[in-house]
Amino acid sequence: MAIKIKTQEEIELIRKSCELLSKTLAEVAKILKAGVTGEQLDKFAEEYIKDHGGHPSFKGYNKYPASLCISVNDEVVHGIPKPDEFKEGDLVSLDCGVFMNGYHGDMAYTFGVGKVRPEYEKLMRVTKQSLYLGIEQALVSKRTGDIGFAVQDYCERENGFKCVRELVGHGVGKTLHEDPQVPNYGRKGEGQKLPENCVIAIEPMVNLGRKDVYTKRDNWTIATQDGLPSVHFEHTVVVKNQKAEILTTFEWIEKAIQENPQLVKI
Ligand code: MF3
Ligand code: CO
C-alpha cells in the first residue's frame, strides 16, 4: 500500500485527536500510583475520551477489549488492563489512541511507580531519547531505515539495550495503522522513502535484556522471553523538510509526573 500524504486540513484533525490523547494520558498520570489497578485507569481513560468527544481507537480494534494498552515490567506492549494493583517499583507503559473527526492519534509513555531500580530509569531515559532521535530523521526524502537506524544505534550500540524487532511504528490517519511500517532497527538509506506531510507513529520498544519476545496466553500481551523489563514511548509526527512536527505532546504528562509524588521523575 502506498503512503498517504495528508492535506493541511487532515493534519489539523489529527492534531485535535492527538491533543485530546495527550491530555488523556496526562489525566491518567495524575491518578497513577501503587494500589491503583489497570482496569481503573482504563475506565477513567475511556470516560475522559468520550466526555471530550472522542472515541478510544483501540477498543474493538481486532476485537481488542480496552481503551488503553497497559504493559507492566516484562510486558512489552498490548497488555490488557487487569484487576491487579500496581506496586512500588513497577514500570507501567500506557499506550492509547484517540479517534475523532475521522482521524486517529496514537501515543505511549512509560511510567515508573514509586522508586524503580537505577537501570530501569536508564532504560526509560534512553528509550525516550531514542524516540526523539528517530523523530529527527522523520524528514522528507529520508527513509524508514534512517529512523530505525537512529533508534537502534542509540539504544543498542551506545547503551547496550535491545530494540524489539517484531513490532513496528506505522502511518496514522483515517485508520490506526497505515503504511509505512517504521521499524526500530535498520540501516541508513533502506526502507520506504518518506514524503512531505505523511503522518507516522514512531514507537521504540526497548528491552533491558535480550531482544526476544513472545505472545502471552491471552493472545494479546507481548512480553520478553527473558522476563526482564521493556519500555515503550510513542509520538505521532508529521514528516517535514526541515524538522518533523510532533502532534502528540509529553508536556502535560510530564507536568503531571512532576506533581505526582508517586511517579519517577526521569
Ligand atoms: N498502540 C498500538 C500501536 O501503537 C496499537 C494497539 S493495538 C490494539 O500500534 F489492538 F491494542 F489496539
Ligand atoms: Co502505534
pLDDT tens sequence across 194-203: 999 999 999 9
Host domain of residue 238: 8-259
Sheet strands (E) in 78-234: 91-100, 103-112, 162-163, 169-171, 178-182, 199-202, 205-207, 213-215, 222-224, 230-232
Residue 186 lies in a domain: yes
Q: Considering only CA atoms, which residue is closest to atom 8 of ligand 1?
A: 58
pLDDT at 227 over 80: yes
Ligand 1 centroid, distance to 43 Cα (angstroms): 17
Amino acid 87 reads K
> What confidence score (pLDDT) does residue 186 get?
98
- pLDDT tens digit string along 82-99? 999 999 999 999 999 999
Asked if residue 29 is part of any domain, the answer here is: yes
Cα separation, 263 vs 255, in Å, equals 11
Q: Are 148 and 191 in contact (CB under 8 A)?
A: yes
Residue 117 lies inside a defined structural domain of this protein: yes
Rounded alpha-carbon distances, angstroms, from residue 165 to 30, 136, 152, 162, 168: 32, 21, 10, 9, 7
Ligand 1 pocket, mutate which of 63, 78, 93 (most atoms under 8 A from CB) = 78
- pTM (predicted TM-score): 0.98
Distance 58 CA to ligand 1 centre (A): 6
pLDDT at 1 over 80: no
Ligand 2 is a single-atom ion; what residues have CB below 5 A from it?
106, 201, 203
In angstroms, the Cα distances linking 12 to 8, 135, 199 are 6, 19, 11
> 157: which 3 cell numbers?
550500540
Query: Structurally, how many domains does the chain consist of?
Result: 1
86 domain residue, yes or no: yes
Residue 266 within a domain:
no
Q: Does any domain span residue 265?
A: no
The CATH number of residue 29's host domain is 3.90.230.10
Cell matching residue 61 = 480494534
Atom number in ligand 1 closest to CA 201: 4
Average pLDDT, the chain: 98
Task: For residue 193, tell me if it sits in a domain.
Answer: yes
Q: Is residue 138 part of a domain?
A: yes
Model pLDDT, residue 219: 98
